[in-house]
Structure 1
Amino acid sequence: MGEENLLGEFVRARRELVTPELAGIPVSGVRRVPGLRREEVAMLAGISADYYLRLEQGRDRNPSVQVLESLARVLLLDDAATEYLLRLAAAKPKRTRTPGREKVRPSTAKLLESLGLPAFVESRYLDVLAANSLAVALSPRLAPGTNRLRDMFLDPAEQALYPDWERDSVSAVAGFRKSVGTDTDDPRYIEIVGELSLASSRFSRIWARHDVLVCAAAPMRVDHPQVGDLVLNRERLGVEGSPGQALVILHPDPGSDSAEKLTLLASSAAGSIPPTRREAHNPADR
């Protein structure tokens, strides 16, 4: 996959998502293409139609920063997508070796267990490398050895856990693309994208959009089978000395209903009798 035309594929996919109305182009008659035409993008970006065609076809892979920024403006790219576009155009050294299995440092593993909140370490490919017991109690698919992107699209039980699954799945794919960047000759990347493209039509549709997203600390909803609905904030922190690894911590607002439910879940994970949904929603009635 090292010879892919990543830059051309990206600008073409984003071009097809920008309507003439969004670009301020008058529309008359029937248009046969989704989004903008190549010549329209070229005109708005101030470059020749032939040069833009060469960019899309991969016959010119060294556009200037000024050209890329003009394309980003025309294609309505946000900061994350613009940064991704610039990275695609930058020279990339060839991979010289296949990396071994990623490991979590002992100090990071100790930190996980000391946290009184669901927490796990994931790789840039969303492989779960380590997790504490409360994270696994929240979702068994957060156990080490799983892949969050794969489970999100292929595991019905995981989908049922998230009421906002459709929105969350779009964000997960965009975050995955941002995390991997241009390192598309990595065997793990090839394995994940290949499997999901064959097994999930929804993944294929989302992947074809070439969305890019910086993982934000946005609240997520979890419909847990024992304690019911929880709203958890999500923090994703880079692990120093372990490039590509991130520590993900899920935490409720202090004093909230979700905080009480998470306390019940922690007690269950520690070995007490699992609470029912009724008990979780009405802790004072126990």
Structure 2
Amino acid sequence: MADLNRELADFLRRARAARDPQQAGLPDDGRVRRVKGLRREEVAVLAGVSTDYYTRLEQGRRIVPSTQVIDAVARALGLDDVGRTHLHDLVSATRTSRAAVRSRSAVQRVRPGLRRLLDSLDAHPALVLGRRTEVLAANRMACALFADFERMPGRERNYARWMLLSDDARSLFVDWEVQARNAVEALRLEAGRAPEDRDLIELVGELSVSSPEFRRWWSEHQVHQRTFGSKRLVHPVVGDLTVDYETFELPGDNEQALYIYTTEPGSSSRQAIAILASWSQPAREPESEPSDG
């Protein structure tokens, strides 16, 4: 439980340091601020709890705050919906009895119907991501636009791992640092939900050893949930293009998400995708000659 307590304490301290006193509505009391952000007693006042209570919460002590108290602390710290969810997850983890042995979660599979849907989106890149940003399925256009995840060994078929460790990913994305950081922050969010997931722990360990950017961003304890947005790329075949993505949580399995990438009609990006579709079209099998008999 000590690790979980440290995770909660770290998140609250960093959120408190990032909170601007003026944005929080606090008047200037004339006191010299020796630390960035809010003081503990200021968070307590804004949340309507005692300073001692908030201090114990920030220390990850064994207290059982109500949902209303957690939401009040989240408001005091200026957390968005994703940050509020992460705070609830961390508090829940510190007070829930968990198995001492860290277990591996069951292998995720993509339903056959979903696989057919993915392949039917032939004009649009599409991916299905599971836990830990594992790429569970990718259609032909996604493999042509990003990387051929379908041919990668199972251990390497992970979006965050590819983003952080692949030289191809670094050269593909114009704003690689933004995209890679988002991937790290998505893993941070999941770590709050499943702190005992052995596969996630091993992935974090590998990335911590192999990527200095990962170590820096992970230590900042920011969280992010991808729902929609844009990606700017410089593709080795079709050059510059921008794709917009939408995320769909799958019915019947909220641990899988479908990502569909589109381009603006009439744009150079739409033309680039059309060229890429033609370039990546599998070769047709030659027709057999009719037999004489």
What is the TM-score with the length of structure 1 in the denominator?
0.84
Q: 1:27 to 1:162 in 2, by over 3 A?
A: farther
Is residue 198 of structure 2 the alignment partner of residue 192 of structure 1? no
- Give the alignment of 1:55-204 within 5 angstroms: 55-90=57-92, 92=96, 94=98, 98-116=104-122, 117-140=124-147, 142-143=149-150, 145=154, 146-204=157-215
How far 1:252 sits from its partner (Å)? 0.9
Q: CA deviation at 1:55?
A: 0.8
For the 8 Å contact 2:82–2:224, the answer to whether it is kept is yes
Residue 248 of structure 1 aligns to a residue in which SS?
A: strand
Deviation of 1:210 after TM superposition, in Å, equals 2.6
Q: Which residue of 2 aligns with 1:283?
A: none
Q: Distance in 2 between matches of 1:67 and 1:264?
A: 54
Q: CA deviation at 1:225?
A: 0.8
Identity of aligned residues (%): 41
Conserved in 2, the CA contact under 8 Å of 1:149 and 1:173? yes
Task: Name the larger-Rg structure.
Answer: 2
Q: Give 1:105 shift.
A: 1.6
Which shows bigger deviation, 215-224 or 43-52? 43-52
CA distance in 2, matches of 1:92, 1:112: 38
How far residue 205 of structure 1 moved from its aligned partner, in angstroms, is 2.5
Q: Is the 8 A contact 2:8 2:59 kept in 1?
A: no
What is the Cα deviation at residue 177 of structure 1?
Answer: 3.0
1:246 corresponding residue in structure 2? 257
Describe the superposition over 1:44-79 as per-residue Cα deviations: whole angstroms up to 9, x where unpaired. 323222211211112134112232122112211112
Q: CA deviation at 1:271?
A: 4.5
Q: Give the aligned residue type for 1:269.
A: S
Contact 1:197/1:204 (<8 A) preserved: yes
Q: 1:106 to 1:248 in 2, by over 3 A?
A: same
Moved more, 196-205 or 95-104: 95-104
**Deviation at 1:126?**
0.6
Aligned to 2:289: none
| Amino acid aligned to 2:8 | L
1:16 paired to 2:17:
yes
CA contact (8 A) 1:141 1:151 kept: no
2:27 and 2:165 map into 1 onto residues whose CA distance is 41
Please name the residue that 1:236 is paired with: 247
| In structure 2, distance between residues paired with 1:29 and 1:154 | 46
Tell me, in whole angstroms, the C-alpha distance in 2 between the residues paired with 1:2 and 1:101.
28
Equivalent residue for 1:279? none
Which position in structure 2 is the counterpart of 1:281?
A: none
AA aligned opposite 2:4? E
Q: Deviations over 1:106-155 (max 9, x none)?
A: 22222221111111211121111111121111122544632111122222
Are the aligned partners of 1:221 and 1:231 in contact in 2 as well (CA < 8 Å)? yes
Q: Which runs of 5+ in 1 are unaligned?
A: 273-286
User: How many residues are paired up?
Assistant: 272
TM superposition score normalised by structure 2: 0.83
Q: For 1:268 and 1:170, locate their aligned partners in 2 and report how far apart those are by CA, in whole Å.
A: 31
Q: SS of 2:9's equivalent?
A: helix
Q: CA deviation at 1:196?
A: 1.8
Shift of 1:9: 2.7
Alignment-derived partner of residue 282 in structure 1: none
Q: Compare 37-46 and 119-128 and name the one that shifted more.
A: 37-46
Aligned-residue offset at 1:31: 3.9
Specify the code of the residue in structure 1 equivalent to 2:17.
Answer: E
Verify the 8 A CA contact 1:224 1:230 in the aligned structure 2. Answer: yes
Separation of aligned partners in 2, 1:184 and 1:121: 23
Any gaps of 5 or more consecutive residues in structure 2? Answer: 284-293
- Shift of the 131–12 alpha-carbon distance from structure 1 to 2, 3 Å rule, reads same
Residues 89-116 of structure 1, C-alpha deviations (whole Å, 9 max, x = no match): 3365636953232221222222221111
Q: Aligned to 2:188, what secondary structure does the other structure show?
A: helix
